[in-house]
A and B are shown apart, each in its own frame.
Chain A
Amino acid sequence: EAQVTQNPRYLITVTGKKLTVTCSQNMNHEYMSWYRQDPGLGLRQIYYSMNVEVTDKGDVPEGYKVSRKEKRNFPLILESPSPNQTSLYFCASRNGQGGLETQYFGPGTRLLVL
């Protein structure tokens, strides 16, 4: 089954404790991205990757890091989480540029930073 998986699905942590949210896709997609969703703000892009070892900032990259060492994986790293990073996070992937290809979303990771 074609899918994007994220782990963990729920996470409660404390300010300053480094964490990683993993994202993996099994469709051999070139393009992957991370979004955060906040009430009243919709989804905003954090980082995206066009292929292995190629990443770029989205609209809200501050406080986040990413890496793309393998095509299938695109982890999101919060090196020193703060309460304003409490949010719902989505990973997504698709094959190619523009809107012709369907973008697949993971199930979401709900993060609470105390």
Chain B
Amino acid sequence: AQTVTQSQPEMSVQEAETVTLSCTYDTSESNYYLFWYKQPPSRQMILVIRQEAYKQQNATENRFSVNFQKAAKSFSLKISDSQLGDTAMYFCAFILSGAGSYQLTFGKGTKLSVIP
């Protein structure tokens, strides 16, 4: 079974600064996808970024980027120029690729507070 670990229950960052959220995972498979989801106070789950394991290039979406280290099974999220609207819970998630893969496994989350 796959596991996802987020070791930072809470973090804070000053507005306009950069923050990195950590995520590690455990799997014996080589083809999979990794995700970061954002959950603001509204509780809506919002996909922030997706990384395909077979791609060496790190995914980037505007101010959000990842550092994907496949050998180390590490998938951290970097938020640049932090904004007040980035205040949220952030969940790292994992799913295997291909046929028969249905289960999205989540970490326990990191609560990020952006301080004015």
On A, residues with C-beta under 8 Å from B are 31, 33, 35, 40-45, 48, 50, 56, 58-59, 88, 90, 92, 97-100, 102-103, 105, 107-108, 110
- A107-B52 Cα distance, complex, nearest whole Å: 26
With A98-B33, A98-B97, A99-B95 in contact, is A42–B44 under 8 Å at CB? no
Q: Nearest chain B CB to A41's CB is how many angstroms away? A: 6
Minimum CB distance partner of A90 in chain B: B45
On B, residues with C-beta under 8 Å from A are 6, 9, 32-35, 43-45, 47, 50, 52, 91, 95-109
- A10-B21 Cα distance, complex, nearest whole Å: 31
- A44-B35 Cα distance, complex, nearest whole Å: 15
**A31 with B102: CB separation less than 8 A:** yes
Q: Nearest chain A CB to B21's CB is how many angstroms away? A: 14
| CB neighbours of B44 from chain A (8 A) | 105, 107-108
Consensus secondary structure, chain A interface: strand
Count, A-B residue pairs, CB within 8 A:
65
**A42 with B102: CB separation less than 8 A:** no
**B43 with A98: CB separation less than 8 A:** no
| CB neighbours of A41 from chain B (8 A) | 108
28 A-B residue pairs with Cβ-Cβ distance under 8 Å, sorted by A, are: A33-B104, A35-B106, A42-B6, A42-B91, A42-B107, A43-B91, A43-B106, A45-B104, A45-B105, A50-B102, A88-B43, A90-B45, A92-B104, A97-B100, A97-B102, A98-B95, A99-B33, A99-B34, A99-B52, A99-B96, A99-B101, A99-B104, A102-B47, A102-B50, A103-B47, A107-B43, A108-B43, A110-B43
Minimum CB distance partner of A56 in chain B: B102
